[in-house]
């Protein structure tokens, strides 16, 4: 969230010169449009627009699909909807949360707590923007350049509500037939690591790679992504 395709520049610099790739700004981010309709920000709608970009640029399968954070949820939807052109999916720091239920015990689940935190922070946009700016200056976020401001907050809010708080990523991954690697940092407060382990236990197509890192994409994470790419 609040990042752009520039996040991937360090990775692109390591790819072989003959590599054919595209990098996208998801809807509501960077140079992409910022629709006012919240439903457009669902991961499935984002995936349709990614496909349109692939078609427009002449990129065809099979592709290695890489997504970070919410982009990883979009990559999962893309793999499900257009599995015929996806060779492998690499999900980096994916905020995958289990479905919400009416069970009172759910309040003790990390998934539920994170969703509650997200809903609360969306009530204070000024604090969220200020927090992002501070984190960016301190280098704590590790983003290419934080793009969150009062003018772009609507895209951020709609993505968080329609794409992360409401999601079906876990359901799709339980039955995916696409080789999928989940790379995540043990120090990432936005993730629920046991969800990844549970998915790998029920689906042999999923490989989990834990690192001693946070949410950002830095050296160790970049090297792991390159290892996966080179194995394809």
Give the pLDDT confidence of 58-70 residue by residue, as tens digits.
Answer: 988 799 999 999 9
Cβ-Cβ contacts under 8 Å for 72 (sequence gap 6 or more): 91, 92, 93, 94, 95
Q: Domains plus CATH for the chain? A: 5-231 (3.40.50.1820)
At 152 the pLDDT is 76
At 134 the pLDDT is 66
| pLDDT beyond 70 at 196 | yes
Positive or negative, the CA dihedral 183, 185, 186, 188 is negative
Which is more confidently placed, 11 or 147?
A: 11
pTM of the model: 0.91
- In degrees and rounded to multiples of 5, residue 90 shows phi and psi of -120, 115
Alpha-carbon distance of 171 to 59, in angstroms, equals 28
For residue 158, give the nearest of 33, 64, 72 by alpha carbon.
33
Q: What is the mean pLDDT of the chain?
A: 88
Q: Average pLDDT in the 135-161 region? A: 70
Give the pLDDT confidence of 15-37 residue by residue, as tens digits.
Answer: 998 899 999 999 888 788 878 78
At 139 the pLDDT is 56
Confidence of residue 76 (pLDDT cuts 50, 70, 90): very high
At 147 the pLDDT is 64
Give the pLDDT confidence of 88-146 residue by residue, as tens digits.
Answer: 999 999 999 998 766 666 656 889 889 998 998 899 888 888 777 766 665 555 554 55
């Amino acid at each position: 969230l609040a990042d752009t395709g520039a996040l991937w520049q360090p990775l692109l610099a390591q790819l072989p010169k003959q590599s054919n790739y595209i990098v996208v700004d998801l809807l509501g981010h960077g140079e992409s449009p910022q629709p006012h309709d919240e439903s457009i920000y669902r991961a499935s709608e984002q995936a349709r627009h990614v496909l349109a970009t692939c078609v427009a640029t002449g990129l065809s399968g099979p592709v290695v699909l890489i997504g970070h954070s919410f982009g990883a949820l979009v990559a999962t939807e893309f793999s499900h909807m257009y599995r015929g052109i996806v060779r492998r999916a690499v999900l980096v720091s994916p905020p995958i949360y289990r479905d919400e239920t009416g069970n009172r015990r759910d309040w003790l689940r990390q998934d539920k707590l994170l969703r509650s935190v997200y809903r609360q922070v969306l009530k204070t946009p000024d604090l969220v923007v200020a927090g992002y700016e501070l984190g960016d200056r301190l280098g704590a976020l590790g983003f290419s350049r934080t793009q969150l401001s009062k003018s772009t907050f609507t895209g951020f809010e709609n993505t968080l509500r329609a794409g992360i708080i409401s999601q079906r990523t876990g359901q799709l991954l339980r039955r995916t037939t696409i080789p999928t690697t989940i790379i995540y940092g043990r120090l990432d407060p936005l993730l629920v690591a046991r969800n990844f382990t549970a998915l790998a236990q029920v689906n042999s197509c999923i490989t989990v790679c834990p690192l001693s890192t946070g949410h950002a994409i830095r050296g160790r994470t970049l090297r792991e992504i390159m290892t996966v790419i080179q194995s394809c």
